[in-house]
Structure 1
Amino acid sequence: MKLAAPESGASNICGKATDQRVQFPPMKQTLVIKPTLFTELNLPESLLKGIEELGFTEMTDVQQIALPITLAGKDVAGQGRTGTGKTATFLITAINRLLTTDPKPGRTNHHPRALIIAPTRELAVQISDDAAKLAKHTDLKLHTVYGGVDYEKQRLGFENGVDILIGTPGRLIDYLKKRVYSLTKADMLIIDEADRMFDLGFINDLRFMLHRLPKYDQRQSLMFSATLSHRVLEMAYEHMNEPEKLRAEEGDLTASGITESMYHTSMEDKFPLLVHLLREGDVKRGMIFINEKRTGERVARNLARYGFSVGILSGDVRQQKRTRILEDFTNGKLQLLVATDVASRGLHIDGVTHVFNYDLPEDAENYVHRIGRTARAGAKGTAISFSCERFCFGLPDIETYISRQVPICHIEHEMLQIGKPSTPEATAEGLKKEDQAEKHDQPKSGGRPGGRPGGNRNGRGGPSRGRR
């Protein structure tokens, strides 16, 4: 029996929550973790081969709990710490389901069997790359759509048929409205980073697509989120079939392999302190998070002048350039990546040894997502944060959210003596030499992560893209 969303007193799913909160019926929870190998899951040989080639043998905590349930065809609303293997969980489930069940009667090439919705272009690309590797030895056809790239080229990708469709809401809806594809024969729905969907104002887009899928009891639905907030649970009850609530790990929200520290510093001392820490630390691959694009441009340009190979990633950089910068960073051509929160979720880049919060995030949850770019899949990492007079007011919320204090480090005078830049005219990757070069990198389809022209649907929702 389907658990329906409450009809009265619930939070407004399109806006702010009311004071009165509905108590949802408790979902089932599984907290016992038992060591499990992928070979014990009775997966198809073609899928197991893809898993083995990725070097996966033992399952993560999230996978140990979720996969036996999702592979059995049950709906799941899952919560887990960043970097815990949620992407592989739902991809393995989707590929297994498509390989072991027959397509629905009447399905054609233009009826995807699985739909995966992601909030940002970077996350959609990341999911697509992982899916291609896992499905490498199968006959499944994958297609990914998102804004900021050639519209017609992506449309032509449907002509060869699609089994698994991955994309951001804006571009998915554009093609759906033009009847490029249909969702009426879908066997599976996956929503990744559900809480981020709400933050970016995608709730109307989600509802539009959900109402064009088969009924909740005629498909399997998986929803993964960093936090199972009231809004996320409300959607789970409305559009899923008795979803099971899973949280694999209790305790700290941050990964255990991260060494955290905090420096209280003035804004003018942040850059010399950063240069000192980069020089003295064993920073093989580092990410530097800032809150505003203009700050990132200045930091990236100055780091290049001091001899660091650095790229910048923000919402205003053209999609092709963003993809190339991420590839260069992943391949080791760039040592450092300066980024806004567009890179704080969903990106899995192996070997990130250090994360620097040059600006403390204004949203406490983003602290966890940012530092989660390091120490992924059981590795070790270092997270260093700067608390300056402008952004220090967010520190109490961060420490309340993670339920502990971040260790404080003392600044010595010599740590701020970094000398003159070695290459005064150097320019970071992603920036032109002209101060206003990024104005030419505005994507033609608009600034929204999903690529819909003119911002959010109905002229609503989501934070301003100008500062990001």
Structure 2
Amino acid sequence: MVDALATKGILSPFPIQEQTIPLGLEGQDIIGQAKTGTGKTLGFGLPLLQELGLNPEPGVKALVVVPTRELCVQVAEDLTLAASNRGTQVAAIYGGKAYEGQVEQLKAGAQVVVGTPGRLLDLANQRMLSLKDVKVMVLDEADKMLDLGFLADIEKLFAQTSPTRHTMLFSATMPGPIVALARRFMNRPIHIRATDPNEGLTQANIKHVVYRAHSLDKDEVISRILQAEGRGKTVIFTRTKRAAAKLVEELNDRGFNAAAVHGDLNQDQRERAMAAFKAGKKDILIATDVAARGIDVNDVTHVINHTVPDDHDTYLHRAGRTGRAGKTGIAVTFVDWDDLHKWALIDRALEMKQPEPVETYSSSPHLYSDLDIPEGTKGRLPGAGPVRPREPRVTEGDRGGRSGGRDGNRSGGGRDANRSGGDRASTSGSRPPRERNHGTTDVVRESAEGGGTHDGTSPTRRRRTRSRRGGAGNPTPPPAA
């Protein structure tokens, strides 16, 4: 395994690996807690593979449960690398993909399964996945599984395994329900925290920059940050799927090379976007929090929070996409005026000492100096082409909700109709009068339905033709009173 890892330049262990690997090799149950991006996967992966032996028998002997599809793929890739010189097969089992390929891997005798709770239970209920021979079980990012409501599913998976199994639980944060879960399903676990006591809650190798920004100026600010000196791969987090889709379109229009990962995309689209980002074909990834735990790319230099995260744990996981494997990174967060209270809670929890973000616009001088953006940088790349025309704003009148909107009332259904003898209409504003005034009813109804002078007829001409009884505009005279 050491030789296999050396092919990818992994030569020395991180603190969490130094502390957990020796205990894991002895079969000790472990609760491992370390900041994101510090090598937790190999901290449990190497003892797991060692425990199975060089050439394990076919059938599932080890189970790694993860909260998201992206993280499932990432962990499976790491374990496959570590086991590349062994006779151990690793299968990734997760939703959004066809069952057939995953079932084939299980039938072929895969010994290590990395999976998301829902798909694992599906296959177990269909008797296509047996967990009775599992020797080692790992929960990775256990706190996220709690957030996503997977606690009941995890308990069902534990119930299908042997009570004598070796159990390891890893996470960046350790809420109370996760500790309670560990006590129920683990045998005298040792809790290991691999953190420097003199280091704050945030990673020391990440520079945290916080700006109070206007929502209409954010795209312009982001476009200038993306032209900073030394910028490598960049991850931008948005609060909603719609915001992610809109931002990726906007940045591509400005000449940048961006891809998106969010819940409205199918699994193949998400995997293609992630693969393009990892390979460097796309250097900007726009994501919702669904992907925050699965982006393990060592050369991400910038993380941008388009909106404030919901809590300090989410902030840590987002910021942890940069500064991985000991490298440095920059995390930029935009705070809307309405979210200042939310940022104050995050700032207090993480002891960042930035309770009042500085007001920042795309033309602010400190934006350029803070982030090493060259002077004179604009929000579009030189070869990006002309600005896309914006779609016109839709008014209530365009939707047909009211009678022609303001213009419609002015041109036909409002003042002009009142002048033509319909004095009663003047008391109702833009609302058409009732049927009693036969001389002007058709005038008002026609202008309300026709939307004013959109047919090219002048208001004066229309008034004359419509208000004459028996004229061209009103061929059938009303009945006599």
TM-score when normalising by structure 2: 0.74
Rg (Cα) greater in structure: 2
In structure 2, the residue matched to 1:371 is 319
Letter of the 1:151 counterpart: Y
Contact 2:89 2:109 in 1 (8 A): yes
Contact 2:298 2:325 in 1 (8 A): no
Structure 1 unaligned runs (5+)?
Answer: 1-46, 427-468
- Greater relative contact order (Cα 8 A, min sep 6): structure 1 or 2? 1
Deviation of 1:221 after TM superposition, in Å, equals 0.3
Letter of the 2:282 counterpart: L
Cα displacement string for residues 276-297 of structure 1 (whole angstroms, at most 9, x for unaligned residues) = 2222343221111110111111
Q: Choose from 51, 75, 83 the match for 1:127.
A: 75
Matches of 1:112 and 1:59 in 2, distance apart?
Answer: 28
In structure 1, the residue matched to 2:190 is 244
Count of matched residue pairs = 372
Q: Choose from 132, 135, 160 the match for 1:184.
A: 132
Matches of 1:282 and 1:73 in 2, distance apart?
Answer: 44
Deviation of 1:400 after TM superposition, in Å, equals 2.1
Letter of the 2:279 counterpart: N
Deviation of 1:390 after TM superposition, in Å, equals 3.6
Contact 2:221 2:379 in 1 (8 A): no
In structure 2, the residue matched to 1:96 is 50
- After TM superposition, the structure 1 = structure 2 runs for residues 196-345 of structure 1, keeping only pairs within 5 Å, are 196-215=144-163, 218-249=164-195, 250=197, 251-345=199-293
Q: Secondary structure at the match of 2:106?
A: coil
Contact 1:330 1:350 in 2 (8 A): no
Letter of the 1:55 counterpart: G
Deviation of 1:411 after TM superposition, in Å, equals 3.1
Letter of the 2:7 counterpart: E
Deviation of 1:142 after TM superposition, in Å, equals 1.3
Deviation of 1:264 after TM superposition, in Å, equals 1.0
Matches of 1:406 and 1:113 in 2, distance apart?
Answer: 49
- After TM superposition, the structure 1 = structure 2 runs for residues 102-181 of structure 1, keeping only pairs within 5 Å, are 109=58, 111-181=59-129
In structure 1, the residue matched to 2:9 is 55
Q: Secondary structure at the match of 1:158?
A: helix
- Pick the structure with more helix per residue: 2
Deviation of 1:425 after TM superposition, in Å, equals 8.3
In structure 1, the residue matched to 2:457 is none
Q: Secondary structure at the match of 1:127?
A: helix
- After TM superposition, the structure 1 = structure 2 runs for residues 1-12 of structure 1, keeping only pairs within 5 Å, are none
Cα displacement string for residues 282-340 of structure 1 (whole angstroms, at most 9, x for unaligned residues) = 32211111101111111111111110000011022111111111111111111211111
In structure 2, the residue matched to 1:362 is 310
Deviation of 1:237 after TM superposition, in Å, equals 0.5
Q: CA RMSD in A?
A: 2.0
Q: Secondary structure at the match of 2:235?
A: strand
In structure 2, the residue matched to 1:73 is 27
> Which 10-residue stretch deviates more, 202-211 or 245-254?
245-254
Structure 2 unaligned runs (5+)?
Answer: 368-376, 389-481
Contact 2:296 2:321 in 1 (8 A): yes
Deviation of 1:424 after TM superposition, in Å, equals 5.5
Contact 2:69 2:294 in 1 (8 A): no
Percentage of matched positions with identical amino acids: 32
In structure 2, the residue matched to 1:457 is none
- After TM superposition, the structure 1 = structure 2 runs for residues 310-459 of structure 1, keeping only pairs within 5 Å, are 310-406=258-354, 408=357, 411=360, 414-415=363-364, 418=378, 422-423=384-385
Deviation of 1:126 after TM superposition, in Å, equals 0.2
Deviation of 1:91 after TM superposition, in Å, equals 0.7
TM-score when normalising by structure 1: 0.76
> Which 10-residue stretch deviates more, 391-400 or 261-270?
391-400
Deviation of 1:401 after TM superposition, in Å, equals 2.2
